[in-house]
């Protein structure tokens, strides 16, 4: 499946690490010559467009004058992703900005893969953009039924860890060689059914009283704890 992504940082990452995914380049203004020739070498299909067309392709986003039609990343099978040691499972998180930020943190903090609970490929272009292209670098899979997923992961030897404001387990007291961290949405969190099936429940210790942290921020803190 193809889609249009935009922004210098995303396209620079694709240029450096995933040139084969670039199908067409759209430019709406002059760019650095070195960047231009690198793009042309990687993808000869460079098309100059006016700003109105660029805005339409970017659906109103901040394209910085550089856009690209790309081949979107493909989901791995659950069988493949279960070969990993450290997994992140996102439950009910639908904001592509948050998901992209979580992908970036997961990649940088040493997670081996991400499991999503939705298969809406149209959202992948937003995740590619907000992850700054790192969605291509971190294996991901899709499993809509989280309760079935928990059973599969436990059968494969994973310790299943939930994230909750009420969590009381200490990461340093757990055997974390092979584990999966489950994160719920910012407002709803993990359901009671999911929490009941967790081997342990972790939380971020708050120094000041506040409703909650942004889910991508909490994800980064908890991933650092288990790595």
Q: Is residue 170 over pLDDT 70?
A: yes
| Secondary structure E strands in 19-92 | 22-27, 46-48, 66-71, 86-91
Q: Which residue in this structure is represented by tokens 């991400």?
A: 114
On whether both 58 and 88 belong to a single domain, the answer is no
Are the beta carbons of 188 and 92 closer than 8 angstroms? yes
Return the pLDDT at 29.
92
Paired with 87 in beta bridges are: 113, 180
**pLDDT over 90 percentage in the chain:** 78
**pLDDT over 70 percentage in the chain:** 95
> Which of 71, 102, 119 corresponds to the end of one domain?
71
On whether both 83 and 12 belong to a single domain, the answer is no
pLDDT band at 214 (very low <50, low <70, confident <90, very high): confident
Q: Is residue 169 over pLDDT 70?
A: no
What CATH number should be reported for the domain holding residue 148?
3.40.1280.10
Return the pLDDT at 6.
95
On whether both 35 and 109 belong to a single domain, the answer is no
Average pLDDT of the residues of the chain: 92
As a dihedral over the C-alpha atoms of residue 171, residue 76, residue 148, residue 121, rounded to 10 degrees, the angle is: 110
pLDDT band at 123 (very low <50, low <70, confident <90, very high): confident
Q: pLDDT tens-digit profile of 36-71? A: 999 999 999 999 999 999 999 999 899 999 999 999
Q: How far is CA 125 from CA 1, 70, 88, 95, in A?
A: 10, 9, 20, 12
**C-alpha to C-alpha distance for 169 and 162, rounded to whole angstroms:** 10
On whether both 146 and 217 belong to a single domain, the answer is yes
Are the beta carbons of 176 and 57 closer than 8 angstroms? no
What CATH number should be reported for the domain holding residue 11?
3.30.1330.30
On whether both 174 and 99 belong to a single domain, the answer is yes
> Which of 55, 71, 87 corresponds to the end of one domain?
71
On whether both 124 and 206 belong to a single domain, the answer is yes
> Which of 21, 45, 71 corresponds to the end of one domain?
71
Return the pLDDT at 21.
96
- Of 17-21, 84-88, 115-119, 182-186, where does mean pLDDT reach its minimum? 115-119
Q: Which domain holds residue 122?
A: 78-226
pLDDT band at 171 (very low <50, low <70, confident <90, very high): confident
Q: Is residue 210 over pLDDT 80?
A: no
User: Mean pLDDT highest for which of 173-177, 192-196, 207-211, 216-220?
Assistant: 192-196
**Arithmetic mean of pLDDT, 17-22:** 96
| Secondary structure E strands in the chain | 2-6, 22-27, 46-48, 66-71, 86-91, 113-116, 140-142, 159-163, 179-184, 200-202
Q: pLDDT tens-digit profile of 63-110? A: 999 999 999 999 999 999 999 999 999 999 989 999 999 999 999 999
On whether both 161 and 199 belong to a single domain, the answer is yes
Return the pLDDT at 205.
77
On whether both 56 and 92 belong to a single domain, the answer is no
On whether both 152 and 213 belong to a single domain, the answer is yes
Paired with 202 in beta bridges are: 163
On whether both 64 and 118 belong to a single domain, the answer is no
On whether both 171 and 99 belong to a single domain, the answer is yes
On whether both 49 and 157 belong to a single domain, the answer is no
Non-local (6+) Cβ contacts of 53 within 8 A are 26, 28
Are the beta carbons of 132 and 105 closer than 8 angstroms? no
Angle formed by the axes of helices 8-17 and 33-42, nearest 10°: 50
Return the pLDDT at 119.
61
The string over 59-98, giving b where at least 16 C-beta atoms fall within 10 Å of a residue's C-beta and e elsewhere, is eebebbbbbbbbebbebbebeebbebebbbbbbbbebbeb
**Arithmetic mean of pLDDT, 148-170:** 90
**C-alpha to C-alpha distance for 159 and 150, rounded to whole angstroms:** 10
What's the total number of domains in the chain?
A: 2
**Arithmetic mean of pLDDT, 118-139:** 89
């Amino acid at each position: 499946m193809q889609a249009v992504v935009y922004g210098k940082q995303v396209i620079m990452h694709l240029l450096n690490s995933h040139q084969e995914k670039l199908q067409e380049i759209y430019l709406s203004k002059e760019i650095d010559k070195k960047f231009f020739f690198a793009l042309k070498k990687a993808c000869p299909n460079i098309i100059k467009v006016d700003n109105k067309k660029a805005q339409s392709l970017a659906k109103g986003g901040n394209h910085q004058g550089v856009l690209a039609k790309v081949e979107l990343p493909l989901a791995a099978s659950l069988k493949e992703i279960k070969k990993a040691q450290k997994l992140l499972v996102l439950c009910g998180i639908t904001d592509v900005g948050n998901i992209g930020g979580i992908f970036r943190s997961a990649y940088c903090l040493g997670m081996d893969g991400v499991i999503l609970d939705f298969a809406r490929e149209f959202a992948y272009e937003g995740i590619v953009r907000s992850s700054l292209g790192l969605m291509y670098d971190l294996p991901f899979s899709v499993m809509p039924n989280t309760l079935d997923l928990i059973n599969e992961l436990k059968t494969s030897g994973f310790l299943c860890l939930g994230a909750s404001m009420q969590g009381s387990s200490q990461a340093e007291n757990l055997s974390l060689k092979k584990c999966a961290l489950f994160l719920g949405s910012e407002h709803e969190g993990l359901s009671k059914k999911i929490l009941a099936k967790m081997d342990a429940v972790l939380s971020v210790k708050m120094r000041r009283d506040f409703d909650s942290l942004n889910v991508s921020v909490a994800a980064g803190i908890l991933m650092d704890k288990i790595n």
